[in-house]
Structure 1
Amino acid sequence: MSTGESLRAALDRLLEGVPPRQAARAVERLMASYRGPTPTGAPVLRDRADAAAYAAYRMPATYEAVGAALAALRAAVPDWAPASHVDLGGGTGAAGWAVAAAWPEGERATTVLDWAEPALALGRELARDAACQALRGARWQRQALAAGPALPEGTDLVTVSYVLGELDAGGRRAVVDAAARAQVVVLVEPGTPEGYLRVREARERLVAAGLRVVAPCPHSDACPVVPGADWCHFAARVARSSLHRRVKGGSLPYEDEKFSYVVAARWQAPAAAGRVVRRPRIAKGQVLLELCTPDGLRRETVTKRLGPVYRAARDTGWGDAWPP
């Protein structure tokens, strides 16, 4: 069983004991909290029912979004693997599951820091079903984030996923500055204009702290996107279980999670020559690509007469490096 399948099975077992109406009401409140622009002054997850609803609503999507960011990292530095991982604001541990899927082998010290005890307790419970020893043996530690969490010395990888929107401006700066002490930072936010702006601000602080952007940007210079006119985001396909569909109120067996992200490293990593920043448009005999490059945003039309380049373009997806 893959890590993703193991996570979905654990969530199915979890939801068996939660009344659907109660979970649905909690999901509606969580949607407003996590997607809205207003930061909260207290943990969003108040009790086990909230934590269970959050796990059903957010864990599969967070797992896929973080997994996509980690895939970009692994494509850039395939020989690197973290010996230690800290998940800041990790809640029920979705990012830890994504890291376990990316690097299933080897020893790794994993620590999840969050201010919501119900989320930590549930995350610890879910992790017992993980195949990865690093996740089963993770430390789940309660800690407020807004003042700047303390990282273990020499942390290799820090993940910060869907956290910054819960914090005010000072808290966001403190979390990003703490994360910047690691060797590699993977930061993910919702793929909304507000989420993108939070990622953009974090990216600038990470670069100012001496890190270099690995993905999605092909450079560490200023982002060429004009705020208010557009925003940089990507999509990850999320498989939904029958219980997950019931809680979410949908019928499709999948959904697309829109997310913005940045991966930055304390060392120089090979950068992609360009990144596809919109879903490619395939027309008769041509593929239209929207690209971010070291020279800024541009459009490229790949025609059928280019042979193997055209075939590669047809196989290229939103968020992929270009050329492959």
Structure 2
Amino acid sequence: MNVTLPTAEALRTALAGLLDGLPPKQAAQAVDRLIASYRGTTPTDAPVLRDRADVVAYAAYRMPATFEAVRAALDAFREAAPEWEPATHTDVGGGTGAASWAVAGAWDGPRTTVLDWAEPALALGRELAEAGGPPGLRAARWQPARIGAGLDLDPTDLVTVSYVLKELTPAARTGLVDAAAAAAQAVVVVEPGTPDGYARVIEARDRLIAAGLTVAAPCPHSAACPIEPGTDWCHFSARVSRSSLHRQVKGGTLSHEDEKFSYVVATRFPVRPVAARVTRRPQIRKGQVLLELCTRDEALRRETVTKRHGALYRAARDTDWGDAWPPPEED
């Protein structure tokens, strides 16, 4: 059962209630400090979110974007495995639970455990879930855990690791990915859509494949990524609605923003990856659409769809960055 839209609305409502009355200047100052921490180049062995003020600022600044990025990754996952549903889910480094909200929007009722080393984040996540989350999320367990090397994960159907790897040392990153691969039937890793975020995703992808998992999305295959290192990076975009406080905290005026992200989904069960994935925003020109594609034969290519292609041309005009190509009805 897909309940994504109501879940997104419920999250916005819960955040609005939490942030009501919070002075925008105070939130903005906390956000500025958090941005400096997250954009730093040195991984940490301590949680970035230290107290409730940090956590509330983080929720205003990052939760909507993380939710939308993970939701988009899960949409691609569900296209590759439409009949699979997780009964259990572990959100590693889940903080205030944005990825868990996305999972609750993709499937109805998986039993979720959120692990994080920042107890104020877990407390706020529980508060938000109880304020308006779906029933499965309101019943989630919120457990303190040291994230990184030595993490012991119980067997579970689904593990999500979203916007976590940058905070860890290289040894802790590999330990975490290996633990997720050993524990789960499916692993979803999401990172910022930057060159270094993509590099962390590729590193995780390689380790998941080495552990015996198969790539379900976004890639059409489980072979090596065809992008030559240092020349480009694979990333996608998700549209994020902004609340009024969100706009004040981030210093923006638009009612939305676009979150760039990189991701990989890998499974221990059979999946049906797309024939090709649109890897850049399509270029619509007079009488033609230019599509940049990653294909099943492990090659990157540009495809030009013109009016003479009829229905396929009309489909190309409606195709977005990150979509499968050709559309399901044409494949």
Q: What letter matches 1:322 in structure 2?
A: W
Provide the TM-score with structure 1 as the length reference.
0.97
Shift of residue 219, structure 1, vs aligned partner: 0.3
Q: What letter matches 1:72 in structure 2?
A: A
1:317 corresponding residue in structure 2: 320
2:157 corresponding residue in structure 1: 156
Alignment of 1:31 onto 2:67: no
1:176-255 matched pairs, under 5 angstroms? 176-181=177-182, 182-255=184-257
Aligned length: 321
1:85-164 matched pairs, under 5 angstroms? 85-103=89-107, 105=108, 107-153=109-155, 155-164=156-165
CA distance in 1, matches of 2:27, 2:122: 18
2:302 corresponding residue in structure 1: 299
Shift of residue 177, structure 1, vs aligned partner: 0.6
CA distance in 2, matches of 1:198, 1:261: 9
**Deviation sequence 1:147-194 (CA, Å, 0-9, x none):** 2322222x0000000000000100100110111120001110000001
Given that residues 149 and 173 in structure 2 are in contact (C-alpha distance below 8 angstroms), is that contact kept between their aligned partners in structure 1? no
Shift of residue 228, structure 1, vs aligned partner: 1.4
Alignment of 1:5 onto 2:9: yes
2:84 corresponding residue in structure 1: 80
Q: Which has the larger displacement, 43-52 or 8-17?
A: 8-17
Shift of residue 33, structure 1, vs aligned partner: 2.4
CA distance in 1, matches of 2:97, 2:303: 39
Q: What letter matches 1:64 in structure 2?
A: E
1:39-78 matched pairs, under 5 angstroms? 39-78=43-82
Q: What secondary structure is seen at the aligned counterpart in 2 of 1:129?
A: helix
Given that residues 6 and 129 in structure 1 are in contact (C-alpha distance below 8 angstroms), is that contact kept between their aligned partners in structure 2? no
* Runs (5+) with no aligned partner, structure 2: none
Given that residues 101 and 133 in structure 2 are in contact (C-alpha distance below 8 angstroms), is that contact kept between their aligned partners in structure 1? no
Root mean square deviation, CA, Å = 1.1
Shift of residue 25, structure 1, vs aligned partner: 1.3
Residues 322 and 37 of structure 1, relative CA distance in 2, 3 Å threshold: farther
Q: Which runs of 4+ in 1 moved over 4 A?
A: none
CA distance in 2, matches of 1:212, 1:305: 37
CA distance in 1, matches of 2:59, 2:151: 23
1:308 pairs, out of 303, 311, 323, with 311
1:266 pairs, out of 265, 268, 271, with 268
CA distance in 2, matches of 1:130, 1:197: 36
Q: Which has the larger displacement, 12-21 or 64-73?
A: 12-21
Shift of residue 43, structure 1, vs aligned partner: 0.5
- Percent identity, please: 70
Q: Which has the larger displacement, 171-180 or 36-45?
A: 36-45
CA distance in 2, matches of 1:167, 1:83: 29
Shift of residue 131, structure 1, vs aligned partner: 4.2
